[in-house]
Amino acid sequence: MKQYKAFAKVNIFLKITAKRGAYHEIISRFMKVKNLYDILEFVPKEETDAKVNEFKIIGSFSCNTEQNTIYKAYFALKTATSSEKLEQLMHRYAIKVTKSIPAFAGLGGGSSDAATYLKMCNSSLDLGLSLHELAAIGLKVGADVPFFVYGYDSANVSGIGEVVQEFKEELLDIETFTPSIEISTPHVYKIYSEDFYNPIDGFKTQELKETSSRDILKSMSADEANDLFKPALQEYKELKNHFKAGYFFSGSGSSFFKVVD
């Protein structure tokens, strides 16, 4: 069966622009990391598994199946399409994931897996869904999923993640490293809201949206580029031991990255 790559991303910058109920609205530049990806493929189930008719994921995950973003993507797709072909596919096949993107890392591994799974099903089953329709289904799984559905090298992402606008620029050669610190994204946002809340205005938002990723990384420090870095440092003090000059912080962490020239 065909193998599909689910690429990681980094946040070149991530700034808070407002609050929407319990959520924070952002403006962020997402960039694909071309040399870091999970591999997804459909593999035929063993006969005993096929009889059970349950959704099966093969891979090393720390969560149970129902909490897995790929299962959530399956459930969202099934709800949106009521496709019998989709159920039949998952009765006969398991989804095998060869993980390379670390979890809880700010690199979008779970979101990328979910988006890749949606696209695999759409093409394998000829569901005929547009990327916009797949992105809307993906948004029910997680805020970062639409970016991965569209498959852009670089994009400005705003709202709570649902607005994805391609940003045409060179794909930078990015090196990442991830300390073994599990960071809770909701917790970091909570600390940001309580101790650091300082949204940027529309003029600064527009300026960031128009500036190339290379120029942003040249002109901003790690904490200037990412509003979540200071709250993450405050809450996970061991992060400081892993931060090196010239590196930037992706998402809510714990990954750092730099451009390799």
For 124-198, list the strands marked E by DSSP. 154-159, 163-166, 174-177
pLDDT at res. 52? 67
* 248 Ramachandran zone, left/alpha/beta (phi>0; psi -120 to 50): beta
Give the model's pLDDT for residue 77.
98
For 203-212, write each residue's pLDDT tens digit.
999 999 999 9
Between CA 9 and CA 182 the distance in angstroms is 18
- Give the number of domains in the chain: 1
* Enclosing domain of residue 219: 4-259
pTM value is: 0.94
Q: Which of 15, 32, 38, 144 is catalytic?
A: 144
Residues in CB range of 17: below 8 A, 6 or more apart: 25, 26, 27, 158, 199, 200, 205
Clarify whether 140 is annotated catalytic: no
Instruction: State residue 63's pLDDT score.
Output: 83
Q: What is the pLDDT of residue 76?
A: 98
Please report, for the domain that includes residue 180, its CATH number: 3.30.230.10
Angle at 110 between CA 68 and CA 187, to 5 degrees: 90
Local structure of 94: helix, strand or coil: strand
pLDDT digits (tens, 9 = 90+) for 216-237: 999 999 999 999 999 999 999 9
**Catalytically annotated residue among 9, 32, 45, 72:** 9
**Which residues of the chain fall below pLDDT 70?**
49-52
Does 144 qualify as catalytic in the annotation? yes
